[in-house]
Amino acid sequence: MPADADTYAGFRVGKPLVVAIDGPSGSGKSSVSREVARRLRAAYLDTGAMYRAVTLHCMTTGVDLTDSPAVESAARTIDLDISTSPDQESVLVAGSDVTAAIREPAVSSAVSAVATTMGARAELIRRQQALIAGSGHRIVAEGRDITTVVAPDAQVRILLTATEEARLRRRGDQLGGTQSEEQLKRQVTERDAKDSTVVDFQQAADGVVTLDSSELDLDQTVTAVLEIVRAVAN
């Protein structure tokens, strides 16, 4: 493609481009997707943050996470504002900044209750599709069901994987070595097992490209995703 005013890093800037990335916990979806979005001058959507925000909201307002109708109702009524700028991580619930609070281990341990409530999923999927449309379909969206349910028509669909060992090590490092091996397994392996009961993010669906990042560092993984985007979308 010739370099001109409409291209940036080899990609046409104005062209609709939805990049859907799924994968298990700790595979690097958020960090990789955010950087890919920056390089593509696209928006970025962390759909897991939306499940986390609903979970925290339930926890702080006394909603029983085992009460499916109540959890669904919380998902429908929550006043949730999530930034889709890759340069500004911000999640607001009723105007309060919960960006850091939704990453607390207590939320990570509880979030599967919301993720496995089908009514809550339907509402969050609807909101995610609206955010993708609102970006002008120029966005990198990541989660567990983006390639299959939220944006099955995305131009680029990737399943980002890594071995369990690599994912546990990454999450442990990310949390500054504060968590025991057992706590990490609860937040990563056990959570994936629960979430897998409602959505398949371990096997690539038809047409989805698998990228194993176990032996790659963050920068190499970003480069590999951009190569897939270039090959598939340009």
Binding residues vs ligand LCLUPRNS (CB under 6 A):
25, 47-49, 51-52, 111-112, 115, 143-146, 191, 195, 199
The C-alpha atoms of residue 72 and residue 119 are separated, in whole angstroms, by 5
Length of the chain measured in residues: 234
Count of residues touching ligand ATP (by CB under 6 A): 18
The C-alpha atoms of residue 212 and residue 166 are separated, in whole angstroms, by 11
Window 139-178: residues binding ligand ATP (CB under 6 A): 170-171, 174
Which of ligand LCLUPRNS, ligand ATP, none is residue 168 near (CB under 5 to 8 Å by kind)? none
Structure tokens belonging to residue 229: 């985007």
DSSP per-residue codes, 129-162? HHHHHHTTSEEEEEESSIIIII-TT-SEEEEEE-
Determine whether the annotation assigns residue 2 to a binding site. no
Which of ligand ATP, ligand LCLUPRNS, none is residue 57 near (CB under 5 to 8 Å by kind)? none
Which of ligand LCLUPRNS, ligand ATP, none is residue 52 near (CB under 5 to 8 Å by kind)? ligand LCLUPRNS
DSSP per-residue codes, 73-105? HHHHH--EEE---TT---EEETTEE-TTGGGSH
Summarize as ranges the residues that interact with ligand ATP (CB under 6 A).
23, 25-32, 48, 170-171, 174, 213, 216-218, 221
